[in-house]
Amino acid sequence: MNMTDNNTRHGYPGLLIVIEGTDGSGRSSQISRLRDWLAIESYGVRISEWQTSRLMGRVIDRAKEQNLLNATTFSLAYAADFADRLEREIIPALKSGLIVLTDRYTYTAYARDIVRGTSPEWVRKLYSFAPKPDLVFYLNVPVDVLLKRIITTTGFEYYESGKDIGLSTDFYESFKIYQTRIMNEYAKMSEEFNFIAIEATKSKHEIQNEIRSSIKTILDTGILR
């Protein structure tokens, strides 16, 4: 890789790559495959996952269990989690020239917070300290496919079904409405933030090859889109 402080989007020597998508879109699987591939190619990699801050991760879980998060505290809690991971994990890794793979980024917060009633301007300002990623891949999965995946794996989760904002008394219907709104927000952001959208109904192998192709172009040439 021949990236320099002048041709990354954030000014650090490393590369910041984001995988976005709803739960059930296959983000974690693709990141795991990317990490293995990059390691074989002799690149140093750091992975940062959503809500894994040692400072805030468990705090958010406890607040969720007790249903204590209204729209504002929901936004602020996740922003604090992100800020802690940014300071402790992401920026140090970028300064060291590593490739940072993030399982979700600020765009997850934008979508979730806006659906919960916060203004786009407010939430963007809240995360204005975030470095700009070099690549953002969005795994797009139709809501009917997503429903089948969730039903057969993790089941409906309270917040991921939008139950906290009273969309429907029925878990199935609430999940469908909430995730449709989330996907609509991602669609709006796709052009604004230059997402590389990939249909998540493709095979894992096909998705991985598409992601690798875009990353390899940067690694080989140092040129960003």
Give the integer Cα–Cα distance in Å for 186 and 199: 13
In a domain, 9, yes or no: no
Per-residue pLDDT of 106-140, as tens digits, reads 999 999 999 999 999 999 999 999 999 999 999 99
In a domain, 7, yes or no: no
In a domain, 5, yes or no: no
In a domain, 131, yes or no: yes
Place 47 in a pLDDT band, splitting at 50, 70 and 90. very high
Q: What is the pLDDT of residue 8?
A: 83
Give the integer Cα–Cα distance in Å for 71 and 68: 10
In a domain, 79, yes or no: yes
Per-residue pLDDT of 138-159, as tens digits, reads 999 999 999 999 988 888 888 8
CATH number, domain of 49, equals: 3.40.50.300
Per-residue pLDDT of 179-217, as tens digits, reads 999 999 999 999 999 999 999 999 999 999 999 999 999
In a domain, 6, yes or no: no
Higher pLDDT, 4 or 40: 40
Q: What is the pLDDT of residue 185?
A: 97
Residue 109: name the closest of 161, 50, 24, 62 by CA: 50
Range of the domain at 202: 15-221
In a domain, 217, yes or no: yes
Mean of the per-residue pLDDT values for the chain? 92
Q: What is the pLDDT of residue 23?
A: 87
Tell me what the mean pLDDT of segment 60-72 comes to. Answer: 87
In a domain, 10, yes or no: no
Overall number of domains in the chain: 1
pLDDT at 99 over 90: yes
